[in-house]
Structures are given as structure tokens and as C-alpha cells.
Structure 1
């Protein structure tokens, strides 16, 4: 069914995650739209299977943390669902077992939440804003098939990367062939989606393509960047630190890694302040050594070795959790280029 809400046509029983200070739509208090209004979900019995259905319904990755006790703040209005019991395979939360819409014995202090993995996007090519489209999924950077690939699809990628508007959507592995799996095929975006995985597609890893059909993007903000940084983890503002230098991605050794280095990374990415330094799994490629005082504006102002760290392996890859206050502009990224 469909219902009108503030002039917008909504599909009944859609879900959203709200109340998070971090960027994106893959973390927050679970709310479901029913009978013309948004309401919350009680945390009675709330577990990883239930959270998995929400994450899939939103086009996010699998659950990273399952939250209870109004972790993201108390909602208002109705508590729509209680005693939710999903197998994890349902297509929407409303298909799971529950007591019935509006039937519960809860208060908003029991509102359920979830943090899903958010699949980062990057462009592998001559710059941050031009290259082959790759999405981080199942611990690997995977590509997108060019079937139906157009400027609307490219615009979503440009918006995600704060690279301005899409000026070209190259086909046929224009920026070279990827090396891992092909994640998406038949992508069809409106152009205003917040993430490429929210566009219509055939499903993860469902395709009839080869890497000779890898899709690319050229955005208006295209600049040659000497040194790029991304965080590979549950959101754009938390994860394993990876650096693009001399045409390849690598990681950072945690031998001298502390809150000072993390503070610079968070500042450069526009992700607020550093909250913690953690390990987010093992990366691949060259391992770099970074030492900062914490006052530097950008990573190249720190002591940075491009020749690889000594006595370090990928089990020591550095990671960071930032506060997630995203406000950066493209020109901040451009300034990461060192002489």
C-alpha cells in the first residue's frame, strides 16, 4: 500500500534510522512508517536477526552493533512493534513475527536501534573524483557493471564523494578492469539517492558481466590528488585508515599510532574529533608509517614515510573512530596534495 505523508508518497512499513550524530543513514534508532505516522520498535527480544532485516531493507551492510535502551535517544509518538522475532531472511521488518502494530508493553526508554556497516565508495583512477567505481563489500573493493550506467547513477557517486556534479559516466572499463568481484549490475538511480546501494539494482553479486564492463565516473570536482585517505569500517567516519599514494592503496602501522594521529585523520576528513583508536581488520598493500603532533591540518604535514613501515604487518593496521560531524568540502581534499 501507499500513503501520503507531508506531500510525499510513502510505501507502508518502510523503515528509517534516526538520532545518530554520524553521517549516512545506516545507524540510528529504528522507526517504521505505519498508518500515516512514524513510530519506534521496542527492544524486547531485539537481536542480530532483527537488525539484519533492517540493515538489508535500507541497503546497508550487515549489523555491526545492535542497540537497546534508547541508545540513540527516545522517540516520540507510537511504539509500533514489540517482541519482534525475525529469522533474518525477511525482506522487511513488518514480515517478521511481532505482537501486532501498536500492541506492546514498552516505553520509549526501550526504543531499539542498530548500527549497520555502511559500504564506502571510491573511484580508482587518476584522482579522488575520477575513476573506476568500487564499493567496499565483504572485505574487498568490488566493481559495478556498466549495464544501464548513466549520468544519474554517476551523480550519486559524485554526491557521496563531495565531488560536484557528474560530467561523464564512462563504460567498458575506461579506467581499467577491477580485480575482485562485480557487486552491482543494472543500477538505476534517480540521481538524488544518498548511496549507490540505495538505487535499484539486481541484488548484491547478481550480474551477467565481466570486468571489461566496469563502470566509471568523472565528476566536475576532478582534481589530481597526491595523497588520499579513507576509513574502511561501519561508516565514513570510523574504520581502518587507508592511504592512496603513487597509484595504489595501503594501510598505516599502529606502532606509533595514537589519538594525535587519529585527530589529524578525523579533521582532514571533516569527521569531527577523534574518539578512539581501534583495529578494524587487516588491509592489503603497502604499510605506511605516520607520526603526528595532533595540531596538523592534513596528513602530509605529519612525519610520513612512503617507503613502508619496518617490523609491521597487516595485523597491526591502524584504525580510528571519529565523532562523525561531517562538514568537509572538496577544496579540503584538494589541499591534501603535498609537494
Structure 2
């Protein structure tokens, strides 16, 4: 959208050839990207589907008369997709267009070099076409519009996003693990691991590089960062009361506050040779090769970092060396590792230079962590509702509801990958059959921001003053319910809790 301003601070519909004796028009681009007037619908992604064009706020289809690869090339270019691949019939994409939807174009004739479909020769007087002849298009799926740069691999680094074929950075205002989860998902990396400052990755962004996004707010479930709520680094316009003038002041965030860069779950640390993934000989990956870690300088703080990085429980054994059967071979990458215990990743701990040490494999480090903290909701209709159980020492047990509230439920729903908690009356919660066996946790207290229930305060494992009538039941919004977990209570629940 383009607005025209004059110095009296009122909009005025003037252009290059329109002036008044007292005012001079100035053109200001408020939105750098205009929305495409074409889209592909009902396909597996935004770059494949039935072709629709926009006219006066209404979307209509395009007849396939004369439709060919040159026309598809233009559509792909306008949508910022990849190369044109095919011209399938629009009927391939279900459901078909509604019979009431208009057909805006009878025939298109593009040279293939146009930037927009609207620039091609068109016959808009539709006289002989029905929705059975709707045009379709297949373009290559576009590369992600986010990337991580200057890190050790493509799944770690400073965050950059693409706008109009240009890459810019993201400010770290409000940046959190939910935003990192979306970046990792979009880049097809693993689980989100951390969000250190972007300044960690050298060289820093050039001062001339733009900062495109001032603040991001993701729910954590989006497939692309562009789908999250965003405050883009816009222009603040200051209008002067002096004649013939318009002042623009661009306020940019400080480069020092560039976005904390995500760690995604590309494997760079592992424990091997043990009874499970949380016990074994420590190995790290450097220059695409795995090597061991010398125990010189190794302590509990370093073991805590490894256990956290692997998503395991707390560190339980740190000083043990490998025996003859579990020793490594080949490279010994690290020695004299020094951690505070707070690092998200072993990469941030101090150590000797990679491969520069006098260690032998008799000194390979062995680490043991508790099994990962796991929880689940059982006897509900979906994995996002039911009686809460946690796993400890290989045994599932329930959680007592003493002190339990909304903040605790928020943590459970987040850890399970569900959405927000749903309020359900106590009468309906009691319809769930109580558990049996162990009651593992009692007096759980969370702040609501924790990523795992394990990070909340609670009594020691197995210590409680409860019975199974006090078992915690949690409902999160997630997959739609299909069955009736309460029998006769279900209709009543739907009336009282419409979100279920």
C-alpha cells in the first residue's frame, strides 16, 4: 500500500503530476511487500493447487483454456515458489470449487517472463468454461525463509529471515523456546535445545544488514516462523508542520540485542556402550567425526550439562572411567572441560583445543544420567486428556492434587506438546477411575514457565500423604475428542466445557 502525504498531515490523493500551490506531495512506502493477487489452494503446500486470482477482494478461478508451463512459471514467480513443475487440472484438488464461485479468466497467455499473472495477456470475458476446467499449477516447494548462520552446523546459529530476496536478522525481544521450536520445525531439524545470544556466532552481522523483525510471539505449534504473530521493524513516521516537508525517522533495535540463536536437535553429543541412551561413554562430534572426551578436569557440573543436553534426568555418576570393553577408539576430541553446570550445551563449556591433548582411551569419560523424566495422560480420549502419570525408576505412578492448579497444568500441557489447559469441573474429573500402584509426586508447585514438570518444586519421590482419590486429572486443548471417557457425563461436560 502506498500513501501520499502533504505537510498539513492529511492524506491527499496526488501523484507525480499533481501539485498544489501550497503543498508538495511525498510518496512513502508503508508496506514493502504487496500481497500476491494469485494463490494455489487445496494442494499439499502453498506452491501447489488449484489456481485462484483476486479481483476487488473476491477470489475466483481460472479456466484452463490455453493454460501451459509459461503461465505456471509466472504463478510460481509471483508466489516466490521454486521452478514450475506441472499444469495439472484443478479438479485434482479436493474439495472442488463451489459452483457459486466465479471464474474470472477464460484464457491466459504469458510469455513466461512476467513477474505477475496480471501482467499477462488475458481474456476475462468468460463465455465457455465451468469449474471442471479450472487450471492447476505445481511449483517446487520453496526453501525456508529462515536460516541459522555462523553456527557449527545448519541447525544452530544466528537467526535470519528473508524478505524480498534479502536476508535480515531478528531482535530478541520476547524470544523464547516456543519461537525456537517453530524455527527448528521449519528447518526440519530436531527438537529445540536452547536460545543463546546471537552475538555468540562470529562474525557478527554487518551493521548495514537490516533487522526485519522486532518481536516474535509463537504458540509453538506453527509450521513456519512467518505464521507467528510478529512486530516487524517498521518505520516510525514523524510529520513536520513546516510547509513542503515530511520527516521519516527509522528506529532500529540495537545490533547487540540480535536474536538468541536456536539449538535444534542435531546430534553432537552422545553416550554409547551403556544400557541405554542416558548411560555410556561420552562422545562428541566435531568436523563430522565422533571422538571421545578425556576425564581430565571432568566433574559433576560438566555431567549435568551433558544430561540436560541429551534430555535425560539428573547426573548420577561422573568420575568413572571406561573399562577395557567400553573404551573408545580413534579420536579423542576434548580434555580439561570446565562447565558451570548452567550451560544449555557442552559446546559452551571451556575446554582444551579439539584434538590437542595427551590423553589415552584409558581415560575416556563415562557418564550416567537418570532416565528421562516422562509423563503421560491415561484413560482419556486423546493423549491430551486423562489422569496424570509420571515415570520414575521404570515405574509409572500418579501425582497427588495437593497444591495443584492452573500453572502446573500449563507445564504439563506444554511438555506433552498439547495446547492450553481446559477448565473442567471437579465433579466431572472424579468420573475418571483412580489409579493404583505408586503415587510418585505430591505438593507440586510450578511458576508456569517451566519446560518440564521435573523443573517444578515437589516433595521427594514417593513421599506423600494422599490416596488415589486425589490423583491429578488434566485436560489440554489438543486433538478433538471422539469417544466418551465418562459415559453418561459426556453431554453434560460438553455443555459446561464447550472447548473440549
Report the TM-score when normalising by structure 2: 0.31
Query: Which has the bigger relative contact order, CA under 8 A and spacing at least 6?
Result: 1
Report the TM-score when normalising by structure 1: 0.43
